[in-house]
Amino acid sequence: MVENRPWLTFFSHAVLIAGVLAVAFPLYVTFVASTLTLEQILQVPMPLIPGDQLLQNYSQVLGAGSTTGSRAAVSSMLVNSTVMALVIPLGKVTISIISAFALVYFRFPLRGLIFWMIFVTLMLPVEVRIIPTFKVIADLGMLNTYAGLTVPLIASATATFLFRQFFMTVPDELAEAARVDGAGPMRFFWDVLLPLSKTTMAALFVIQFIYGWNQYLWPLLITTDESMYTVVIGIKRMIVGSDAANEWNLIMATAILAMLPPAAVVVLMQKWFVKGLVETEK
Amino acid sequence: MEKRVLFRSAWLPYALVAPQIAITMVFFFWPATQAVWYSFQLQDAFGLKSQFVGLQNFSALFRDSNYLESFKVTALFSVLVAFSGLAISLLLAAMADRVLRGALAYKTLLIWPYAVAPAIAGVLWAFLFAPSIGIVTYLLKGFGIEWNWIIKGDQAMALVVIASVWKQISYNFLFFLAGLQSIPKSLIEAAAIDGASPSRRFWTIVFPLLSPTTFFLLVINIIYAFFDTFGVIDATTQGGPAQSTQILVYKVYHDGVKAADLGGSSAQSVILMFIVITLTVLQFRFIERKVQY
C-alpha cells in the first residue's frame, strides 16, 4: 500500500463486489431454476428463491434425461465427459513429455523438421479443418467411439513446448552425473526427469482436464449416437425450440452438473491451475 | 539454447516422437492438405464427381455478399469481445491489486467462469435473456426496452458478446493481476511522493508498463473470439437472425456440415488457416515467446 485513501479502498471493494456479483448472477439464476418446476419457471418473472424440486429435477436428469429433445440420461453423458476429460490430459502429458525429451536430449537427423511439424499444429485448430477431419475419422471408422473423441485431441504443440521449456531449465550436471554412473537415457528419464516434472505435469493436467471436459465442436461432429453424447453436447440437444417448449428446469439442472466438476477443479486446485494457465501461454 | 549433455541412440529419439508425429500426420496434416485440395475442386450435386476448378471457389466467395458480411460480423464481434473483456478485467484486476483484505476470496470468486464451457455460457445467458420468460428481459421491459434477440440482430450480437466476455473475464483477470503484481512498487511509490494521484499514476506508469500483457491478451482474445466462441454461437443464435451473428468459423461449419458445400467450405477453411497463421506469427513476433530450434 503506497498511501492510505479510505475512499479509494472502499471504491475498490465496491467495484470488486459488483464484479463478483455480476459474474455469479447467471450461476445463481441457473441454480434456482434447477430447483423449480417448469411451471414456476414459465411464470414471468420467475421466482428468485430456490424451490423444493432439487432432488426431483436432478434425479430425473441423471436417471432418465429430458423428455423433449435428447432422451439420453445425463449420468451416461457425465461418464462420457469424464472419459474425455481424463484420457485427453493423460494422453497429452504422455506423448508430449516423451517427444519433448527426445527433442531436448538427443541430436538426430530430421530433428528440425519434427520440431517444425509439431509447431505448425498450433496453426491448425479443429475449427479450420472441420470437414476433412470429419472425413478422416469416418474413414477410420472412429465415429461414435471413445478413440475418436480423444485421440485426435491428444497431439498438442503447447504441451510439448511446455515440457521442452522445463527440460531446458534442468541443470546439465544431472544428465552428466547420470551418464557417468552408467545410466542410459530411459533410466535418466524415469529416475531423474519424471520426478522433477511432477508439478509441471500436474499444472498441465488441470488445464487439459478443463479443455477435455469443455470440448464442443469436436464431439458435435463425431457423435451422432445419443449414448456417446458428452454433457456439453447433451445440454445443447435438450434445447429444442422457443422459450416455453424447453424443459428449462431439467436443462438448468444439467448445466449445473456440467459446470460442477471443472469449476471444482479450478477452485480446489487453484495453485496448479494458475501455474498451468500462465505457463502454457509463455 | 542447447543442452551440453546429449544421449546417443540411433532409434530411440524416433520412437519417442513417433506417437505425437503419427497423430499430427493423421489428424492435422492430412485433413489440412485435404482442405486445400477440396478448395480447388467443385463437386456435383450428388457428391459423385468433382473437377478441378482452380481458384473459382475463392473468387465465388469474395463475390458472395454473405461471406463478406460474415467478415464484417466477425470483425465487429471480435473487437467488441476483446475490448469490453479487456476493459472490465483490467478494472477488476487493478482493484484487486489495490485491496489487501479479501484479495484471495475475490480472485477465487472471479476465476471460476474459466471452467464453464462456451456452449454452456451461451445457454445460461440465452436463458436470462429469453424473449418471453427471461428474468433480464423482464427487468429490461421495466425500463421500456423490448428485448428479443431471436428477431433483432443487434440484440443477438449483444447476447453472444456478453456470454463470450463473461466466460473470458477470468482468464484476462488472472493475467492482468499477474502483470500488475510484477510492476516494481518503488516506481509507484516514487510517483506518489511526487504527488501524482492514483489515476495519474495508473495511466502514466502502470498502464504503459502493462502494455506487453495487454497486447498479449489482445491477440489471445481475438483468437478466442474467432474460434472458441463457436459453442456460444451454436448454442444460442446459430448465426441468426439473418446471419447477423454468423462469424467465419460458424459459416465454415454451416456451409460444410449443414449445407454440404464441400468446395466452398474448404475454401473458407483455407482462408481461416491464413488468418490463424497471421495471428500466431503476430503472437510470437511481438510477444517474444522464445522458440529456438
- In this predicted complex, what is the ipTM? 0.88
Taking only the tens place, the pLDDT of each residue in B146-186 is 888 888 888 899 999 999 999 999 999 999 998 898 888 88
| Residue B293: pLDDT over 50 | no
Q: How confident is the model at residue B1 (pLDDT cuts 50, 70, 90)?
A: low
Please answer yes or no on whether B291 and A119 come within 8 Å at the CB atom.
yes
Measured CA to CA in angstroms, residue B47 lies from A249, B41, B117, B268, B271 at distances of 43, 11, 35, 19, 23
Taking only the tens place, the pLDDT of each residue in B97-150 is 888 788 888 988 998 999 999 999 999 999 998 888 888 888 888 888 888 888
Please choose, from the candidates A69, A62, A259, the residue with its C-alpha nearest in 3D space to the C-alpha of residue B123.
A259
Please answer yes or no on whether A112 and B131 come within 8 Å at the CB atom.
no
Please choose, from the candidates A218, A16, A274, A90, the residue with its C-alpha nearest in 3D space to the C-alpha of residue B230.
A218
Q: Please give the pLDDT value at position A242.
A: 66
Chain A residues touching B230 at Cβ < 8 A: 127, 216-217
Please answer yes or no on whether A12 and B32 come within 8 Å at the CB atom.
no
Q: What is the pLDDT along chain A (282 residues), one digit of tens a residue?
A: 567 788 888 999 999 999 999 999 999 999 999 888 888 888 878 888 888 888 888 888 888 777 766 677 888 899 999 999 999 999 999 999 999 999 999 988 889 899 888 888 877 777 777 788 888 888 889 889 999 889 988 888 888 988 998 898 899 888 888 888 888 899 999 999 999 999 889 888 998 999 999 999 889 888 888 888 899 998 888 887 666 678 888 889 999 999 999 999 988 888 888 888 877 765
**In chain A, beta strands by DSSP E:** none
Q: Which of B115, B198, B216 sits opposite A262 (nearest CB)?
A: B115
CA gap A78, A260 in Å, rounded: 11
Residues 125-154 in B contacting A (C-alpha not used; CB under 8 Å): 125, 127-128, 130-135, 138-139, 150
Please choose, from the candidates B277, B232, B234, the residue with its C-alpha nearest in 3D space to the C-alpha of residue B252.
B234
Please report which helix (H) or strand (E) contains residue B42, including its range: strand B41-43
Q: How confident is the model at residue B292 (pLDDT cuts 50, 70, 90)?
A: very low
CA gap A197, B8 in Å, rounded: 22
Nearest chain B CA: its distance from A92 CA (Å):
9
Instruction: Provide the whole-model pTM.
Output: 0.88
**Is B189 part of the contact surface with chain A (CB cutoff 8 Å)?**
yes
Find cell 482468464 and name the residue.
Answer: B171
Please answer yes or no on whether A255 and B124 come within 8 Å at the CB atom.
yes
Provide the percentage of residues in chain B whose pLDDT is more than 70.
Answer: 94
CA gap B93, B174 in Å, rounded: 8
Q: Is A121 exposed, middle or buried (0-12, 13-18, 19+ CB in 10 A)?
A: buried
Classify each residue of B216-226 as buried b or exposed e, where b means 16 or more C-beta atoms within 10 Å of its C-beta: bbbbbbbbbbb
Which residues have CB under 8 Å from A269's CB, separation 6+?
A202, A206
**Is A171 part of the contact surface with chain B (CB cutoff 8 Å)?**
no
Taking only the tens place, the pLDDT of each residue in B67-79 is 889 999 999 999 9
**Is B253 part of the contact surface with chain A (CB cutoff 8 Å)?**
yes
| Residue B83: pLDDT over 90 | yes
Q: Please give the pLDDT value at position B76.
A: 94
